[in-house]
Structure 1
């Protein structure tokens, strides 16, 4: 294993050297960095031209200039030496500093969208594969192709118009019209009917129950102005936690494993008790504190699952640990909701932002700052999810269909294994193998940035840095962008190969 990794890293380094040399020459040949100054009427034009020539080493031929750049870039390989030098841009700013700002903006913008697209897309794809040729399958297929064909700039502009401008206006008087309540309730009812299995009677019951619940919730939200002063409260928190406990147990252990179910429900009870005990601590929250609390919550859940015992403590621990984590997320969500009215007032009634990553000069505690970042990331995240989720849905559906028709799945069913065991333990893991390559490539694109989305929502990320570098014939930012993206792509392709061996024991990485 170790020798295989070393060989792959050496090969990757050679590929990186060759590719960076080609990219540098292409960038140098793409235009003249001095063209803007040559056509200028500035009286000190000659001095400015000489200064920029010295800054970019333009007196050196491009092939040799690459090795000047490479000498500075090699310093990035020495940790903690502060010797990394990727040159400067046309404004004299070090590229390493520009990269640091751009990477933060890009990761802030795209990471959440990509993770949600992966989780939601794979889940929907697997569900539709298990319900092949059903109304749900046809509906999801139609929506996937629709979202996949949407121009990202068009979707982003529509989101800014209706998801920010119109919604902010609606929040001033958040009364939901009765026709809208009826329409939304009918849509959710139809979705529930498509998801439901069995005879038509059961499907109509699912339609009616879902539509009635959605209509009641929306009417309550409209009547009480919940969107202005949101919150879950202990009752909704407890009911949601019980639903989470049943769902997690059904997926991870099966509802027949009563020990696992009781472990999860006990964890929910502990979470409800802590909901009343933690407010004073959460008022002083920091990011590190929340991470520590998340680790403690999972530890408590795992401990509860262990002490319940039974024939398979591992299932208890997994179910209770995951339930504890999700219960912690619900408590965190409720605390953010409690901070919403103050943030609404601080933004003068326009909380959903349309540009930028944060409100300039905005001051607030952990919860207010979190809401500020959330409202700025909400629309671009939705735009990226709508486009990305389609591909993951199609890939995961196709992979799952192929796996479910294999002989070993038929054998597992013939042995009398439950459908949950067949799907989760035998099919799901193998269905993820082809997706490892897709995810690895997408991670490289993630770091590269979403150029169009960054432009529409005014994020100065990696994509904008690359595009502006090309437009201005500014080679050093382009090379900085290339180095980061190339290293990320090579590393994650190596990780994809290692994930193959973890998902499928038949795949071995050999020296």
Structure 2
């Protein structure tokens, strides 16, 4: 294994060297860095040209300039010695990257996690219901999103997800047409999701349409959009649904101890919702992290105490349920700060540009809302594009696995469908997805260049575009170096993940 990793690292290093040389040469011939000075009428024109020539080493050929840059980049293996040059403004590239990387990571990490979870879940469900109306609908929608250009999706989100939605929040009056439309959409969507006989689908359509229209009507009458919140009733009902769903997925509803343990964590969350209210008023990030860990620990402890014939199943189901329900409590507390945040943003809470609201003064909850509202649109744009590929790959992989002999053998032994899908099929279906995830990390970083430009998000994308526009090779090469190392690293991790997901795979030196 060690020799294999070393060999892969050596090959990856050669790929990075070749690619970086090619990119540097392309940037070097893409324009004239001295163009802005050649036609200048300033008295110090010659001095400015000399400074630019010295800064970018323009007095030597481009290949030589590349090796000068490479000599500084090699020093990055030594802490504190990294030298990637300076931008035309005189700022060290390492300093520019230190401020740009966190913004891009926030955007790409959230988009990647959401796309993986949603795409894999939807792909597996459609595979299990192959050739159904749900399968055909998801296939059509997936190909539709996959074919959309990310810049066009971003512009549409700015128009309808921010500008018009902010206008609606100024006077949140829901028309009868909108209520009827939501009812019709609910009546069409839920029968697709639940399936069953035509009689069952008809009943589901009637109930879903009535509930969807009724909920939207209630939200409008109660002014929920101005003063949102979940409240204990909705937290309890949603938490109970989560407990039942997680237990059915991980342990099966026949494991009553796991179900009781999961439902107990919902009760504990409702108690903590009020008991910790004074503490949450002075919340910090580390306090929320500690409370999250405490919620997981309480769930695991509840599963251990309830025990059952498989204590590990009870602990996993209760721990995950506790974590998700704690997220509901956290969401409710954020919603309580929404009116103050709307006032702080002058009635325009959904941002269209930037990563934060200038001069915003607020507590942890207001700052958190500002963080999420600035991320919601660019993250959604990236998710809509990438979730389609995960859906299609996970569906194809699951269909292939479900037809294997060991799956039929598992069914022949009398195992439940839940056990067959989760323990035998799902893990093997993840093996091809490991490659897709590794490839998509680099693709998302590339897509973030366009998305950040549309939303004026000051990340690596903005740094890259500015460097190209001004014929400034150093920030371009710094961004490329980060993206290249990330792509190479995740591809190596994908290869190593094969042996972890499938014991039959062995890496030989």
Does TM, scored on the shorter chain, surpass 0.5?
yes
Q: What residue number does 1:49 align with?
A: 49
Deviation at residue 391 of structure 1 after TM alignment: 1.3
Cα deviation digits, residues 165-206 of structure 1 (max 9, x gap): 211121122121122112112211211111223211111121
Cα deviation digits, residues 111-135 of structure 1 (max 9, x gap): 2122111111111111011111111
2:242, 2:321 within 8 Å by CA — same for their partners in 1?
Answer: yes
Counterparts of 1:9-408 in structure 2 under 5 Å? 9-79=9-79, 82-408=80-406
Deviation at residue 43 of structure 1 after TM alignment: 1.7
Separation in 1, partners of 2:152, 2:380: 13
Give SS of 1:450's match.
Answer: helix
Deviation at residue 139 of structure 1 after TM alignment: 0.9
Deviation at residue 449 of structure 1 after TM alignment: 5.0
Deviation at residue 65 of structure 1 after TM alignment: 2.3
Separation in 1, partners of 2:395, 2:178: 33
Separation in 1, partners of 2:109, 2:406: 36
Separation in 2, partners of 1:231, 1:244: 18
Deviation at residue 504 of structure 1 after TM alignment: 0.8
Separation in 2, partners of 1:387, 1:18: 30
| 1:510 maps onto 2:508 in alignment | yes
Cα deviation digits, residues 373-408 of structure 1 (max 9, x gap): 111122222222222111111111111111111221
Separation in 1, partners of 2:318, 2:3: 39
Separation in 1, partners of 2:214, 2:410: 44
2:295, 2:326 within 8 Å by CA — same for their partners in 1?
Answer: yes
Separation in 1, partners of 2:16, 2:190: 50
1:447, 1:488 within 8 Å by CA — same for their partners in 2?
Answer: no
How many residues align? The count is: 509
Separation in 1, partners of 2:225, 2:106: 26
Separation in 1, partners of 2:174, 2:327: 28
Separation in 1, partners of 2:73, 2:168: 52
Separation in 1, partners of 2:76, 2:395: 42
Q: TM-score, normalised by structure 1?
A: 0.96
Separation in 2, partners of 1:24, 1:165: 40
Separation in 2, partners of 1:450, 1:276: 40
Distance change >3 Å, CA 52–CA 151, structure 1 → 2: same
Mean Cα displacement is larger for which, 269-278 or 156-165? Answer: 156-165
Q: TM-score, normalised by structure 2?
A: 0.97
**Quick one: which of 478, 489, 492 aligns to 1:491?**
489
| 1:468 maps onto 2:466 in alignment | yes
Separation in 2, partners of 1:5, 1:286: 41
**Quick one: which of 453, 459, 465 aligns to 2:457?**
459
Mean Cα displacement is larger for which, 348-357 or 319-328? Answer: 348-357
2:456, 2:462 within 8 Å by CA — same for their partners in 1?
Answer: no
Separation in 1, partners of 2:350, 2:431: 39
Separation in 1, partners of 2:243, 2:16: 48
Cα deviation digits, residues 226-248 of structure 1 (max 9, x gap): 01101111111111111000000
Separation in 1, partners of 2:370, 2:195: 42
Separation in 1, partners of 2:63, 2:383: 42
Give SS of 2:367's match.
Answer: helix
1:95, 1:480 within 8 Å by CA — same for their partners in 2?
Answer: yes
Deviation at residue 15 of structure 1 after TM alignment: 2.8
2:127, 2:399 within 8 Å by CA — same for their partners in 1?
Answer: yes
Q: What residue number does 2:479 align with?
A: 481
